[in-house]
Amino acid sequence: MNFLIENWFLLVAAVVSGGMLLWPLLVSGSRGAAVGPAEAVQLINREKGVLIDVSEPEEFAKCHAAGARNIPFGQIESHKSLPSNKALPLVLVCPTGARAGRAAGMLRKLGYEKARVLAGGLKAWRDANLPVEKSA
């Protein structure tokens, strides 16, 4: 007990550092976490998740994940193709994942708490040998 009293600053440092390590988990939980292609497919199949491609229409026409809805990044906040049920998981994808990450943040502010980003973008989807489509 004397050790703790005499070295109270070590105890405080340990508690603070532990809290700093746990803070991101406590604040965000799984919100906004990037998901891999396998987890994205599970969200779509098991939880009726919606795959949304935030690429521009020209990019979307060249190649996109099969079954994805195209909602360009610039229209993400007001597009009519967004699901009305905000509890559904949304998996956002773009060629690299950068726009999808920003779109996920915007959608979470609109109440879509389960908006996730496909880690690695469309390339990761193709690398996992998942189906892609090209628009005519």
Per the CB < 8 A criterion, the answer to whether 94 and 54 are in contact is yes
Kindly give the pairing relationship between strand 64-65 and strand 132-133.
antiparallel
Indicate if 67 and 129 belong to the same structural domain: yes
CATH number at residue 90: 3.40.250.10
Hey, what amino acid is at 59?
A: E
Phi, psi of 34 (to 5 degrees): -75, 145
pLDDT cut 90: percent of the chain above it: 67
Indicate if 113 and 46 belong to the same structural domain: yes
Indicate if 75 and 117 belong to the same structural domain: yes
Residue 30 has pLDDT above 50, yes or no: no
Indicate if 57 and 113 belong to the same structural domain: yes
**Mean pLDDT computed over 95-111:** 91
Q: Could you give the number of structural domains in the chain?
A: 2
- Going by pLDDT thresholds of 50, 70 and 90, the confidence category of residue 48 is very high
- Going by pLDDT thresholds of 50, 70 and 90, the confidence category of residue 25 is low
Indicate if 64 and 103 belong to the same structural domain: yes
User: What does pTM read for this prediction?
Assistant: 0.74
Residue 99, domain extent = 31-133
User: Per the structure block, which two tokens stand in for 79?
Assistant: 């597009």
Residue of 98, 95, 100 whose CA lies nearest to 122: 95
Indicate if 108 and 74 belong to the same structural domain: yes
